[in-house]
Structure 1
């Protein structure tokens, strides 16, 4: 579109204009107020702007509070290169650069969430953004250090349930909000304190929402489907977490426990619900300078007991279960003066028991399968003249042993190397090259039954090969001054890409021909994903006026088999805001082009849309407490928005105009 080309051209001209660069040089006050945000999922815990192999985005503070939604997909869907699966209000998972499911790894405090959200879009992520301190998005090859499933990137929800520092006095916040589009009520809070050398943490969240309002039609292009609310889009979520750690000069060691219940609707014609429950237990310990050559030693372990039932008219149809134990050891060595190397090496193990069994005596969707993973990884960073280099290696062995099929074992290797060249003060150019492999998931190998929420009869292939991905990424960025910008371009070639091909064959719940379930076969082909992203920001942290413009595009296709399914639409957007010590306001516009790049089995293109959001907040001091009154508005134009990345795009539009207001007390 002409408007997109004009916007990007104007942004680039503005970035290099001498007057703007002079204004940047004069900004010492605001620059002094900028605090570096640490990316906790980075092995070397670098700042957000220091990543070489991992273009990173960190949502924290006011920005996170403005964007937090009922799901992680909703919270992150307007970030650069990120879209959402949008399977109703309760289940929306982030999609990064057109890659979804098991290719995008979900972490909580650097450990896998160990849910089953990567198996199907109707499964919610078992992690809550309402109590998060920050949410980190990592795209690129260094994310592979967390597993072969992170080919597309990772999302890390940081809630710091295991404290790493002693608070001199109790701190925390409590927030309550109400949303008009779904009569939503949400209360969340966190509390941190210390008793001697013991740090303590408590957090909780409670959310109830009714079926949300939609602008007009439920079914795209069907005037007879006009209605006010989307049936079966209700949610009810409860989450509580507690943790403690012993903290001393040598480091810390701590434990945490959490419990999650989540009951939400699936807005398909079948009208099913999902009843999700998870108990999680974590251990984390860091020892500083354990040896003369080591900067730190970290040991982490986590056990997760996850279950969910897919309910048909209130009766369980399929029972999903995943019990997982994960361990991780990271050793960070001190800089080697002779070579200038600074890095982290370690090992990771995972042991899971997964199943998706029929509750009514029919075929099991996925049989009971025991999977084990052992991995070793290494990441190093060094300087060579003006260049900063980063390289990573990972070896992984995955074994899948089902009770009713043959065992498969996969040896996986991943490697990456990248360099950042600051060719002039404040400007840098980066390039990364990576090679990664992914083992087929349990459901891709062994599925053989109905999936009620998606109305598909899934058929796996135990002969599937491992995926092999080769990725090249280039970036150009301005990293100092009030005006900052970045441009990324990437191409990813994947051999043996696994995808679910939906055929015209129909089956009943027992696998007999005829019925309501479309057959979905897991197949492989060579795939290519390529795209670009551009973003420019002005004064994103300081007082006064601020602004942002962005654009992103991604295109994935299969050799001799057409487009990849559920491809994101091309987007362009802009925002403007104003900050004072007590007042803050902003207005944001996002335009998505119509998406007509359909897979062979997709039939309906998605139309273009415009999203306009706004926010307003006021903060006042009340004794030692900051009291913030806030108002946010989403989809102010009340547009009928259909996401091309959603399996339900034909029958489930996004919510209409939504006004959320609330109050937050921080102490």
Structure 2
């Protein structure tokens, strides 16, 4: 069966490549496609140049069409990306079967510093509704941001600290209404300048009730609830302000933001999470600070995060807090012996805890973590080859109040080569080695986690997690028809995962009937996968199209599959763009997923998700006014995703129509 699946993936990649080659035979003049700069890449390269650091950037109309109530929902149909789908309020991106602390979440290149990596019920504290663009990045550049980003990173770019002076105020305001949850959402951004002071403001307001589901709530149970999914409502508020001084030498600025998010957890218990975060950032950049260097960049961010898990009567049961101070210094040097790159230092100091609000056992004791890292990423063009390499050395220390202190010295590196074998075509090979320190909850958990209905038990003796990854990529990055394909293999030693043993415990950890015992364990794992995507006339006027396929296999050596593995998918879309009119239709088919971990019970059925969009833009004085209609899950299918802990009791929303208007100025 594995051989058949491998052959199927190979056949998909080969057929896409053949189709692109045939189409190029009589291809018209190469259309002009605007360059989309990847800000999280040290060389600020365009998206299409990222063969050594595979990237996807969502911005503009595409971002607005795909925007959902969570970051996971927004990115869930990108190549190699799925979502944890823990209700409407919390859904985190999963990249190539990797989730939690192995996928780094950034905001403007700095850690979001929430606790979403700890558990799937915790929402990412970064808002996509006010983002200028969202970047997905893997490869050597990820080493700039953390050794633990084995799966990759997601960077939400909202430009709260402006870097340019606007000649006049610019921005946009959007309002939308969704039928599936009577959802109301208003968001907006505005940028301006007074002299050499650049100013920015943004905000988002979202209210949504429990959403409608197509069939019964519990998979295979005709006696279960129909209509709306209980405890799937969300209430979110977010505001950000920033200012900077901009001159010919560079800029220096600061920003502050505040987020509140109250959302339901559609588990049997029906918990709620009351999330709050205040964030302060400072950033500066100096051009040509001294001979031999192109720029110096400094960033510092302080985050004060808290969320309470609410039980019956909205009484707090567990309170999670995380206070984090992060700094980054980066120097980009001019080419030296043909090498061009960035090096720097990063520090992080966090205080994290998950304490009982009822006087019971604490889920995770108060723990101070410190890390200091040095990193370097370089590239060199040899003509026939382009080389890319990166390295990171990091020291991590965890100091819980219980006294079981641990220290980890981490070494990570990556090297890759790109061969442009024909104009517009390239093949790349990348090798990487990364080490990840066990997180605080993996080391020190010993207490109830009511939102996931588990009693979590960590192990303070865990070893460092070590990943060895090899990836082969090919792409065509010019012309009307473009395509890319990746195959990869990731071997992870001492992989940490939560094993649900089948034992039931009470709130004190004794035998009971309330909570499932979840013990963090280590084992060796292997993740293999393939991805392919072909686009036609991606950004030009007239008709456009896209087809894609991705597959991933994660196994624990000698112990079955990794838990919560993504399903194989294939998708296609067609679009039309002419003057003020834009329309599109997309279909994603996911196969049933029966590759289960030893403690998982039920396979996930396949599904078809059909979405559509229609918009019209008109000029009203200085405004570009866009009226839009989005249709999601038009077939009203009962969609359950294999990457969700709640897949058996919480399907995705049913048929949903989103009406809205957006004004740009």
TM-score by length of 1: 0.98
Q: What aligned pairs does 1:404-483 form with structure 2 within 5 A after superposition?
A: 404-483=402-481
* Cα distance in 2, alignment partners of residues 141 and 182 from structure 1: 41
Greater Cα shift, 83-92 or 38-47: 38-47
**Any idea what the Cα deviations from partners look like across 1:369-427, whole Å, max 9, x if unmatched?**
00000000001110113100000000000000000141000000000000110001111
Q: What aligned pairs does 1:144-293 form with structure 2 within 5 A after superposition?
A: 144-293=143-292
* Cα distance in 1, alignment partners of residues 403 and 448 from structure 2: 18
Contact 1:287 1:297 in 2 (8 A): yes
**1:120 aligns to what SS in structure 2?**
coil
**1:227 aligns to what SS in structure 2?**
coil
RMSD of aligned alpha carbons? 1.2
* Cα distance in 1, alignment partners of residues 566 and 552 from structure 2: 7
2:302 maps to 1:325: no
* Cα distance in 1, alignment partners of residues 399 and 42 from structure 2: 31
**TM-fit CA distance, 1:14:** 1.6
* Cα distance in 2, alignment partners of residues 385 and 273 from structure 1: 57
List runs of 5+ in structure 2 lacking aligned partners.
none
Aligned to 2:369: 371
Aligned to 1:27: 29
2:103 maps to 1:104: yes
Contact 2:65 2:613 in 1 (8 A): yes
* Cα distance in 2, alignment partners of residues 447 and 636 from structure 1: 42
Aligned to 2:652: 654
Q: What aligned pairs does 1:526-565 form with structure 2 within 5 A after superposition?
A: 526-565=524-563
Aligned to 2:395: 397
Question: Aligned match of 1:15 in 1, 15, 20?
Answer: 20
* Cα distance in 1, alignment partners of residues 277 and 210 from structure 2: 24
Contact 1:164 1:245 in 2 (8 A): yes
**Any idea what the Cα deviations from partners look like across 1:434-466, whole Å, max 9, x if unmatched?**
000000000000000000000000000000000
Q: What aligned pairs does 1:6-85 form with structure 2 within 5 A after superposition?
A: 10-17=15-22, 20-24=23-27, 26-28=28-30, 30-31=31-32, 34-85=33-84
* Cα distance in 1, alignment partners of residues 521 and 499 from structure 2: 7
Aligned to 1:123: 122
**1:150 aligns to what SS in structure 2?**
coil
Aligned to 1:357: 355
**2:653 aligns to what SS in structure 1?**
coil
**TM-fit CA distance, 1:27:** 1.8
**2:148 aligns to what SS in structure 1?**
helix
Aligned to 2:571: 573
**Any idea what the Cα deviations from partners look like across 1:235-292, whole Å, max 9, x if unmatched?**
0000000000000000000000000000000000000000000000000100000001
**1:496 aligns to what SS in structure 2?**
strand
**1:14 aligns to what SS in structure 2?**
helix
Aligned to 2:608: 610
Contact 1:477 1:485 in 2 (8 A): yes
Contact 2:308 2:317 in 1 (8 A): yes
**1:461 aligns to what SS in structure 2?**
coil
**TM-fit CA distance, 1:7:** 6.4
* Cα distance in 1, alignment partners of residues 128 and 390 from structure 2: 30
* Cα distance in 1, alignment partners of residues 141 and 555 from structure 2: 24
List runs of 5+ in structure 1 lacking aligned partners.
none
**2:141 aligns to what SS in structure 1?**
helix
**TM-fit CA distance, 1:347:** 0.2
* Cα distance in 2, alignment partners of residues 169 and 523 from structure 1: 56
Contact 2:160 2:240 in 1 (8 A): yes
Q: What aligned pairs does 1:501-520 form with structure 2 within 5 A after superposition?
A: 501-520=499-518
* Cα distance in 2, alignment partners of residues 226 and 296 from structure 1: 59
| Equivalences, count | 659
Q: What aligned pairs does 1:292-311 form with structure 2 within 5 A after superposition?
A: 292-311=291-310
Contact 1:141 1:151 in 2 (8 A): no
**TM-fit CA distance, 1:11:** 2.9
Contact 1:627 1:666 in 2 (8 A): yes
Q: Are the structure 2 counterparts of residues 615 and 6 from structure 1 closer, same or farther at C-alpha, using a change threshold of 3 Å? A: farther
TM-score by length of 2: 0.98
* Cα distance in 1, alignment partners of residues 51 and 392 from structure 2: 17
Q: What aligned pairs does 1:589-608 form with structure 2 within 5 A after superposition?
A: 589-608=587-606
* Cα distance in 1, alignment partners of residues 342 and 9 from structure 2: 42
Contact 2:148 2:434 in 1 (8 A): no
**2:372 aligns to what SS in structure 1?**
strand
**TM-fit CA distance, 1:140:** 2.7
